């Protein structure tokens, strides 16, 4: 394929390649979801494939298309081994953006389709660890049925995957004196986040802090290393994603080897910059998932947007959303909520934490990601006065 095709032309080329290879299924291109749905219920997501395609030369593009055919076309697909003994050496870990998995879930639910049965284990608030099988030409994600065929639980499979990755070659370099970067270049750089025993061997100040902006990047420094943390931020600013974005939120390796989202403590010179990155990342998630969530809820509720507002004097950013009178609304978890009526416009800007403290019975959590809360009735004037009194009290302290 010559030149740089548009996403639509790329999808057409993929469908033609599958047809030429003997795929007898009926494909349907979904431009909104940027994927190909097949008559047998399977689908191919094109976002990451297209991004990889754009970065390759002519020979690389040809190889990529050939590999897609080998993995996707029934009859050409390499079947999984029947026994765990045969499969064990090729079971590998995989990291997913939670946002990507949430989008897939919302789209399937909106169409009345069954949920994916992917084995997923949370890593912090924004990542999932999963299981895959390393084929010669591709990495195949495994589902629960695959694991059950080998009589494996999710956690047993992940332990095998970690052992296999742990025995592979690791290549880490240093940027500056104390920022470690994984340079294995084998599509598993970010997955090395799941090898705490390897990362604990690094000479860092404080607890290990890791960042995985995409699948080919793992950055590690220490919680008490200002220089390393600043360099981490600089690399996050200048490096482009490889088409498989993961998370811009740093993680801290706790004593029990569990990763948890991390932000420098109050008063830390880099806290505001890390906070800004987190808010930008989460705001983008709300934006990306708003449309599929609105499609799922339809006219039952309004899915509110997130705005990022910057203080011109301090440069500090805050997230804001609106709670409109007369609207059943799914509110995002923002710094502030603007209470709005048709007659008066914005009645009050209130910290979301204050609203939940005083109007908690009106704000009901919804089981979606990122966090949202359902509100139906609008606060009465008495309730607004109560919130105002609380704000005045806190400001006078």
Rounded to the nearest angstrom, the gap between the alpha carbon of residue 17 and the centroid of all alpha carbons in its chain is 30
Residue 28 lies in a domain: yes
Residue 293 lies in a domain: yes
389 and 308 housed in the same domain: yes
Q: Supply φ then ψ for residue 39, to 5 degrees.
A: -65, -15
219 and 307 housed in the same domain: no
347 and 382 housed in the same domain: yes
Highest mean pLDDT: which range of 3-17, 25-39, 237-251, 319-333: 319-333
Q: Answer yes or no: are the C-beta atoms of 219 and 174 closer than 8 Å.
A: no
Q: Per residue in 16-37, pLDDT tens?
A: 888 888 888 889 998 887 888 8
> Pick from 18, 50, 77: which residue ends a domain?
77
Query: pLDDT category, 77, cuts 50, 70, 90?
Result: low
180 and 257 housed in the same domain: yes
As separate numbers, helices (DSSP H) first and strands (DSSP E) second, the chain gives 12, 21
Q: What average pLDDT does range 367-386 have in this prediction?
A: 93
Looking at 200-326, list the stretches that DSSP marks H as alpha helix, in order from N- to C-terminal side.
226-238, 271-297
308 and 331 housed in the same domain: yes
User: What pLDDT score does 357 carry?
Assistant: 92
> Pick from 77, 98, 119: which residue ends a domain?
77
292 and 206 housed in the same domain: no
Report pTM. Answer: 0.84
Q: Answer yes or no: are the C-beta atoms of 248 and 237 closer than 8 Å.
A: no
CB atoms within 10 A of CB 344: 10
- Give dist(CA 343, CA 337) in Å, integer: 18
Which carries the bigger pLDDT value, residue 24 or residue 370? Answer: 370
Structure tokens at 185: 């270049």
- Give dist(CA 147, CA 156) in Å, integer: 9
286 and 362 housed in the same domain: yes
Query: pLDDT category, 370, cuts 50, 70, 90?
Result: very high
Residue 254 lies in a domain: yes
Structure tokens at 365: 């959590």
Assess whether pLDDT exceeds 80 at residue 93.
yes
Q: Per residue in 204-251, pLDDT tens?
A: 999 999 999 998 899 999 999 999 999 999 999 886 655 578 999 999
> Pick from 237, 262, 287: which residue ends a domain?
262
Q: Answer yes or no: are the C-beta atoms of 378 and 323 closer than 8 Å.
A: yes
Total domain count, the chain? 3
What is the extent of the structural domain holding 211? 172-262
Q: What average pLDDT does range 346-360 have in this prediction?
A: 88
Assess whether pLDDT exceeds 60 at residue 368.
yes
- Give dist(CA 305, CA 27) in Å, integer: 34
User: What pLDDT score does 98 carry?
Assistant: 96
Residue 47 lies in a domain: yes
Q: Supply φ then ψ for residue 212, to 5 degrees.
A: -130, 80
Minimal CA–CA distance to 21: which of 98, 71, 92, 73? 73
Pairing of strands 336-341, 317-324: parallel
282 and 390 housed in the same domain: yes
Q: Per residue in 142-172, pLDDT tens?
A: 999 999 999 999 999 999 999 999 998 788 9
Q: Answer yes or no: are the C-beta atoms of 211 and 263 closer than 8 Å.
A: no
Minimal CA–CA distance to 101: which of 88, 85, 119, 84? 119
Query: pLDDT category, 396, cuts 50, 70, 90?
Result: very low
Lowest mean pLDDT among 4-8, 18-22, 154-158, 341-345: 341-345
User: What pLDDT score does 56 carry?
Assistant: 82
Task: Write the burial class of residue 299 (CB in 10 Å: 0-12 exposed, 13-18 middle, 19+ buried).
Answer: exposed
User: What pLDDT score does 3 carry?
Assistant: 64
Residues 97, 98, 103, 109, CA torsion sign: positive
At what angle are helices 381-396 and 352-359 packed, to 10 degrees? 120
294 and 387 housed in the same domain: yes
290 and 362 housed in the same domain: yes
- Give dist(CA 303, CA 117) in Å, integer: 27
286 and 228 housed in the same domain: no
User: What pLDDT score does 226 carry?
Assistant: 97
Residue 389 lies in a domain: yes
User: What pLDDT score does 187 carry?
Assistant: 82
User: What pLDDT score does 306 carry?
Assistant: 98
Q: Say whether 262 sits in a helix, a strand or coil.
A: coil
Residue 303 lies in a domain: yes
User: What pLDDT score does 69 carry?
Assistant: 79
248 and 310 housed in the same domain: no
User: What pLDDT score does 397 carry?
Assistant: 47
Residue 30 lies in a domain: yes
Assess whether pLDDT exceeds 80 at residue 71.
no
Assess whether pLDDT exceeds 90 at residue 334.
yes
Assess whether pLDDT exceeds 90 at residue 63.
no
Residue 109 lies in a domain: no
Query: pLDDT category, 311, cuts 50, 70, 90?
Result: confident
Task: Write the burial class of residue 280 (CB in 10 Å: 0-12 exposed, 13-18 middle, 19+ buried).
Answer: middle
């Amino acid at each position: 394929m010559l030149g740089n095709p548009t996403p639509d032309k790329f999808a057409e080329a993929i469908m033609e390649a599958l047809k030429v290879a003997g795929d007898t299924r009926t494909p349907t291109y979904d431009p909104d979801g940027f994927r190909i749905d097949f008559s047998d219920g399977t689908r191919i997501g094109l976002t990451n494939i297209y991004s990889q395609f754009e970065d390759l030369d002519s020979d690389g593009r040809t190889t990529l298309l050939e590999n897609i055919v080998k993995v996707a076309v029934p009859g050409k697909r390499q079947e999984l081994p029947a026994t765990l003994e045969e499969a064990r050496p090729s079971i590998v870990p995989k990291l997913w953006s939670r946002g990507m998995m949430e989008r897939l879930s919302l789209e399937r639910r909106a169409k009345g389709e069954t949920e994916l049965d992917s084995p997923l284990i949370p890593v912090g608030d924004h990542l999932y660890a999963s299981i895959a099988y390393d084929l010669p030409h591709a990495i195949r994600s495994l589902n629960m049925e695959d694991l059950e065929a080998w009589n494996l639980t999710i956690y047993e499979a992940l332990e095998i995957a970690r052992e296999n990755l742990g025995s592979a070659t690791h290549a880490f370099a240093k940027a500056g004196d104390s920022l470690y970067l994984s340079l294995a270049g084998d599509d598993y750089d970010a997955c090395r986040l799941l090898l705490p025993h390897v990362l604990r061997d690094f000479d860092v100040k404080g607890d290990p802090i890791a960042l995985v902006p995409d699948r080919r990047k793992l950055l590690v420094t220490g919680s008490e290393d200002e220089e390393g943390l600043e360099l981490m931020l600089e690399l996050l600013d200048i490096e482009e994603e490889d088409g498989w974005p993961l998370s811009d939120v740093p993680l801290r390796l706790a004593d029990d080897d569990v990763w948890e989202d991390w932000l420098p403590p109050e008063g830390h010179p880099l806290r505001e910059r890390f906070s800004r990155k987190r808010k930008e990342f989460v705001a983008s998630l709300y934006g990306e998932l708003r449309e599929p969530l609105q499609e799922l809820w339809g006219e039952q509720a309004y899915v509110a947007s997130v705005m990022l507002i910057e203080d011109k004097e301090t440069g500090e950013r805050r997230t804001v959303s609106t709670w409109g009178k007369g609207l059943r609304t799914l509110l995002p978890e923002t710094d502030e909520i603007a209470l709005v009526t048709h007659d008066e416009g914005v009645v009050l800007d209130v910290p979301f934490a204050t609203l939940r403290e005083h109007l908690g019975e009106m704000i009901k959590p919804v089981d979606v990601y990122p966090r949202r809360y359902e509100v139906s009735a609008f606060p009465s004037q008495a309730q607004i006065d109560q919130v105002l009194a609380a704000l005045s009290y806190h400001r006078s302290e």
